[in-house]
Amino acid sequence: MWVENGFKRPIKVYSHSEHTRKLDETGHMLAPHWVPNDKHLINWAAGIDAQTLANARALVSRKQTPSGTGEGAPPALIQALKDRLYR
């Protein structure tokens, strides 16, 4: 089969694995696309349902804390770590 996407000019390949190998050589890959009744991919063009939006809103509105602050750790542990780090 002749393929042209991902290459400067059309090339002839004799199998799908050869096509994939040629794409890998150029740093490209085949992009998955949704088809009706697809059980593995989401139809992004259909929009996002209310539950997904609510979940995203909850994640975004969480209080952000810098990692490694030790929030919730016992004060003695925090002091011991500070002593080790700042001696």
Residue 16's closest CA among 29, 26, 7? 29
- State residue 5's pLDDT score: 76
Q: Can you tell me the distance from the alpha carbon of 54 to that of 51, in angstroms, rounded to the nearest whole number?
A: 5
- State residue 13's pLDDT score: 93
The pLDDT tens digits for 57-87 are: 888 887 766 555 556 667 777 777 777 777 6
Instruction: Enumerate the domain spans of the chain.
Output: 2-46
- Model's pTM, two decimal places? 0.39
The pLDDT tens digits for 3-50 are: 887 788 899 999 989 998 998 898 888 877 778 888 888 777 777 788
CB-side exposure of 11: number of CA atoms within 13 Å?
15
